[in-house]
């Protein structure tokens, strides 16, 4: 397909409402342009098929269906004026839900206390609650820490006491052993000294005897 | 013959006679349009009633700036699209009935715009159009997109000019022509697959 006008030409060619001068121009183009001629020939059966539709008669039906099902709107228009308290009743639920929505959206908080009542909006209330919560948490942590410390101290105390008892017993035992050792050592030394003394005496006796033998002629 | 605008004005003033005259003037076009889309008498009657109810409800909004027929067919097209959507969402008839051995593959693969009319109740005797070409046209149109169906309907069956169609659909006349050309090509391609439909045979 090289002719850029084909869509236009085909549409006009099958257009029953085309003006006579335009029809002449289209027919002239189709007679000279092979592309458009081929396309018109190819699509003609489709167009013919559509034109072969056999118009069917409309069965009997209720033509007043529309007006019967749809009453004129005058009653609605007549009802509109007269502002009464009925209107308030109609808008009250909407207004109430609107106020509630605004309250929810702005995080409105109503605090009632002995000093009276206080209305707060937005995040301030939430922040205050958050601060309170932080306070509680800090307090809780402090109490927990104190308890832990006391428990640890008690445990250490007990452990220390036990250890001290054992050390004292050990020290006593060592002391006793040392005293015994000293006594034994002293006894040993005494024996050694006694023997030394005896040896010295023996040597003196021997010397005096040797001298006595020497003095003899 | 009273002009459309006069009948509309009288109908708006409560004249049942004016309304019925207006309906009789256009009911043939709307009924045959509905028949081409739905393929059977009952559905076509339902759609036509729906269209005229829509026309009556909106009559006060018709300004007379465009042709009554294009205004009418805008409503008709919307009602047809609504109906197709309803059936597509809830195809009770299509589920309950056995498959039609004569059903066309195009019809079934086209997103089934009219599932109810494809099943056994779409036989020629039920179509209320024992004419072979009417059955063929109905089935071929089913295989087109709603946009393509509309352009062929307005151009071939309602005889509107491309300028009128362009104004009604708020597109350019060139776009309308291109759509018409594409729809005709699609129709021809569908016919190629089913030689028994070609009027030349």
CB contact under 8 A, A69 and B53: yes
Residue B185: list chain A partners with CB under 8 A.
Answer: 43, 46
Residue A182 domain-assigned (yes or no): no
Residue A173 domain-assigned (yes or no): no
| Residues B120, B102: Cα–Cα separation, whole Å | 9
Most confident of the ranges B35-39, B113-117, B122-126: B35-39
CB contact under 8 A, B56 and A70: yes
The DSSP element (H or E) to which B4 belongs, if any, is: helix B4-12
Residue A25 domain-assigned (yes or no): yes
The DSSP element (H or E) to which B168 belongs, if any, is: helix B162-169
Contacts of A194 (CB under 8 A, 6+ apart): none
* Residue A110 main-chain phi, psi, to 5 deg: -110, 115
Q: Using 50, 70 and 90 to split pLDDT, how confident is the model at B44?
A: very high
pLDDT at B195: 57
Residue A21 domain-assigned (yes or no): yes
Say which of A15, A46, A70 has its CB closest to residue B188: A46
| DSSP calls for B43-93 | HHHHHHHHHHHHHHHHGGG--SSS-HHHHHHHHHHHHHHHHHHHHHH--HH
Q: Using 50, 70 and 90 to split pLDDT, how confident is the model at A62?
A: confident
Put simply, whether the predicted model's pTM sits higher than 0.80 gets the answer: no
CB contact under 8 A, B184 and A64: no
Domains of chain B: 4-141 (1.10.1740.10)
CB contact under 8 A, B48 and A14: no
Q: Which residue has the higher pLDDT, A130 or A74?
A: A130
Residue B48: list chain A partners with CB under 8 A.
Answer: 58, 61
Residue B41: list chain A partners with CB under 8 A.
Answer: 59
pLDDT at A75: 43
pLDDT at A32: 95
Say which of A11, A46, A49 has its CB closest to residue B162: A11
Q: Lowest-pLDDT range, A100-109, A166-175, B22-31?
A: A100-109
| Residues B114, B85: Cα–Cα separation, whole Å | 9
Q: Lowest-pLDDT range, A48-57, A133-142, A161-170, B107-116?
A: B107-116
Quick check: B46 and A62 in contact, CB under 8 A?
no
Residue in B with minimal Cα distance to A59: B45
| Residues A106, B114: Cα–Cα separation, whole Å | 51
Total residues belonging to chain B: 201
Average pLDDT over residues A187-195: 93
B172: left (phi over 0), alpha (psi -120 to 50) or beta: beta
pLDDT above 90: residue B101: no
Residue A96 domain-assigned (yes or no): no
pLDDT at A127: 75
Quick check: B36 and B157 in contact, CB under 8 A?
yes
| Residues B128, B35: Cα–Cα separation, whole Å | 9
Say which of A7, A17, A46 has its CB closest to residue B187: A46
Distances (CA, A) of A126 to A105, A106, A136: 13, 11, 15
Q: How far is A50 from chain B (nearest CA, A)?
A: 6
Candidates A18, A36, A56, A73, partner chain B, best to mutate (most B CBs within 10 A): A56
Q: How far is B40 from chain A (nearest CA, A)?
A: 11
CA angle A182, A186, A187 (to 5 degrees): 120
pLDDT tens, position by position, A66-75: 777 665 544 4
Q: Which domain holds residue A46?
A: 6-50
pLDDT above 60: residue B94: no
Q: Using 50, 70 and 90 to split pLDDT, how confident is the model at B130?
A: low
Average pLDDT over residues A130-138: 91
Candidates B43, B156, B167, partner chain A, best to mutate (most A CBs within 10 A): B156
How far apart, in Å, do the first and last CA atoms of chain A sit?
Answer: 175
Q: Using 50, 70 and 90 to split pLDDT, how confident is the model at B132?
A: confident
Q: Which residue has the higher pLDDT, A154 or A108?
A: A154
Q: Where are the alpha helices (DSSP H) in chain A?
A: 6-13, 20-32, 34-51, 65-69, 74-79, 85-105, 123-215
Residue A146 domain-assigned (yes or no): no
pLDDT at B53: 93
Q: Provide the number of structural domains found in chain A.
A: 1
CA neighbor of B135 nearest in space, from B38, B47, B46, B45: B38
pLDDT above 60: residue A96: yes
Residue A30 domain-assigned (yes or no): yes
Contacts of A8 (CB under 8 A, 6+ apart): B174, B177
Residue A98 domain-assigned (yes or no): no
| Residues B125, B137: Cα–Cα separation, whole Å | 16
Q: Lowest-pLDDT range, A99-113, A184-198, B53-67, B163-177?
A: A99-113
Bridge partners, A20 (sequence order): none
Quick check: A58 and B51 in contact, CB under 8 A?
no
Say which of B128, B134, B161 has its CB closest to residue A53: B134
CA angle A69, A71, A73 (to 5 degrees): 145
Average pLDDT over residues B142-168: 93
pLDDT above 50: residue B125: no
Instruction: State the virtual CA torsion across A82, A86, A87, A89 in degrees, nearest 10.
Output: 170
Quick check: B182 and B135 in contact, CB under 8 A?
no
CB contact under 8 A, B137 and A52: yes
DSSP state of B195: G
Query: Strand, coil or helix: what is B110?
Result: coil
Distances (CA, A) of A208 to A195, A205, B83: 20, 5, 159
A interface with B, Cβ–Cβ below 8 Å: 6-8, 10-12, 14-17, 42-43, 45-59, 61-67, 69-70, 72
Residue in B with minimal Cα distance to A61: B45
pLDDT tens, position by position, A11-50: 999 999 999 999 999 999 999 999 999 999 999 999 999 9
Distance of CA A121 to the CA centre of its chain: 27
Residue A63: list chain B partners with CB under 8 A.
Answer: 19-20, 23-24, 27, 52
């Amino acid at each position: 397909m090289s002719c850029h006008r084909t869509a236009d030409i085909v549409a006009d060619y099958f257009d029953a409402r085309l003006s006579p001068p335009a029809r002449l121009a289209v027919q002239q183009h189709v007679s000279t342009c092979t592309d458009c001629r081929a396309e018109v020939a190819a699509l003609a059966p489709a167009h013919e098929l559509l034109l072969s539709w056999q118009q069917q008669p409309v069965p009997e039906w209720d033509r007043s269906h529309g007006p019967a099902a749809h009453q004129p709107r005058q009653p609605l228009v007549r009802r509109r004026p007269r502002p009464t308290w009925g209107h308030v009743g109609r808008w009250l639920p909407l207004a109430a839900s609107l106020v509630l929505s605004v309250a929810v959206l702005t995080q409105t908080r109503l605090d009632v206390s002995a000093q009276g009542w206080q209305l707060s909006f937005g995040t301030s209330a939430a922040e205050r609650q958050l601060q309170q919560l932080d306070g509680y948490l800090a307090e809780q942590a402090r109490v927990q820490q104190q308890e832990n410390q006391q428990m640890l101290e008690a445990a250490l105390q007990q452990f220390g006491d036990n250890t001290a008892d054992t050390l004292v017993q050990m020290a006593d035992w060592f002391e006793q052993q040392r005293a015994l050792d000293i006594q034994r050592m002293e006894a040993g030394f005494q024996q050694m000294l006694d023997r030394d003394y005896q040896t010295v005496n023996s040597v003196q006796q021997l010397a005096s005897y040797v001298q006595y033998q020497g003095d003899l002629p | 013959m009273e002009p459309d605008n006069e009948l509309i004005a009288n109908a708006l003033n409560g004249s049942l006679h004016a309304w019925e005259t207006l309906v009789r003037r256009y009911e043939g076009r709307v009924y045959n349009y509905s028949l081409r889309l739905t393929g059977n008498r009952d559905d076509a009657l339902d759609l036509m009633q729906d269209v005229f109810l829509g026309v009556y409800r909106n009559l006060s909004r018709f300004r007379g700036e465009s042709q009554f027929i294009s205004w009418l067919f805008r409503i008709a097209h919307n009602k047809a699209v609504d109906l197709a959507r309803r059936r597509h969402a809830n195809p009770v008839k299509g589920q309950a009935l056995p498959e039609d051995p004569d059903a066309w593959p195009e019809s079934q693969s086209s997103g089934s715009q009219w599932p109810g009319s494809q099943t056994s109740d779409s036989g020629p005797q039920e179509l209320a159009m024992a004419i072979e070409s009417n059955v063929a046209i109905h089935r071929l149109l089913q295989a087109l997109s709603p946009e393509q169906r509309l352009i062929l309907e307005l151009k071939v069956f309602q005889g509107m000019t491309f300028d009128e169609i362009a104004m009604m659909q708020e597109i350019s006349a060139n776009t309308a022509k291109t759509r018409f050309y594409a729809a005709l090509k699609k129709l021809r391609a569908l016919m190629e697959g089913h030689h028994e439909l070609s009027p030349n045979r």
